A and B are shown apart, each in its own frame.
Chain A
Amino acid sequence: GAGVSQSPSNKVTEKGKDVELRCDPISGHTALYWYRQSLGQGLEFLIYFQGNSAPDKSGLPSDRFSAERTGGSVSTLTIQRTQQEDSAVYLCASSLVSIAGGGEQYFGPGTRLTVT
């Protein structure tokens, strides 16, 4: 079956502009995660959605970052007034079972964001 897909694969934007990154999880997966991967860094957790529960936003680095998940499926990560330090690869993952339940996260290929 289809895996996690993300669009666009690459995005170049000017400092100060807003960007939207999209994630289509695997069908039926109730959990969705966003991570940020900066050069030379590990993956940094951003936000987690589980079904209809309130999302865990504890990893969002500033109020310029927001995310939503519509209909329990597609998710959009929005970065407002982009800064150069926002340049990174943004990875989305989904899972059928939570990590606590021993579930596996399936990752998309990522969106490479470059802020000039």
Chain B
Amino acid sequence: AQSVTQLGSHVSVSEGALVLLRCNYSSSVPPYLFWYVQYPNQGLQLLLKYTTGATLVKGINGFEAEFKKSETSFHLTKPSAHMSDAAEYFCAVYTGGGNKLTFGTGTQLKVEL
């Protein structure tokens, strides 16, 4: 069975600093990988996804993630944090066998002045 691990349930960065949110997965088949963002009292919004092809994926709001098969990772980065980036971020994986995503437990990002 597949699983998703997000290291760090809370991450704090200064405004303008690099954002790095970690995601590792386990899967016996090539995965589809997703990052979602959830603002307070809202549903999840897709930031970016990897299905096939180029391993560096660019998403909305300046975020990007790189699929590294050898490391079974799909870390999310943004060069310069903005106050509006404060939210909860979820990594998810799809490996077939039913149309459902397996989500990590989320990382709460705090951006400080």
Q: Write the residues of chain A forming the contact surface with B, with a CB cutoff of 8 angstroms.
A: 3-4, 31, 33, 35, 40-45, 48, 50, 56, 58-59, 91, 93, 98-100, 102, 104-110
Contact = CB atoms under 8 A, between A and B. Distances in A.
A74 to B, nearest CB: 17
B43 A98 contact: no
Contacts, number: 64
A102 B53 CA distance: 12
Nearest to A56: B98
The 4 closest A-B pairs by CB, nearest first: A107-B43, A42-B103, A43-B103, A45-B100
Nearest to B39: A109
B101 A99 contact: yes
Interface string B34-66: 001000011111100101000000000000000
Interface in B83-113: 90, 92, 94, 96, 98-106
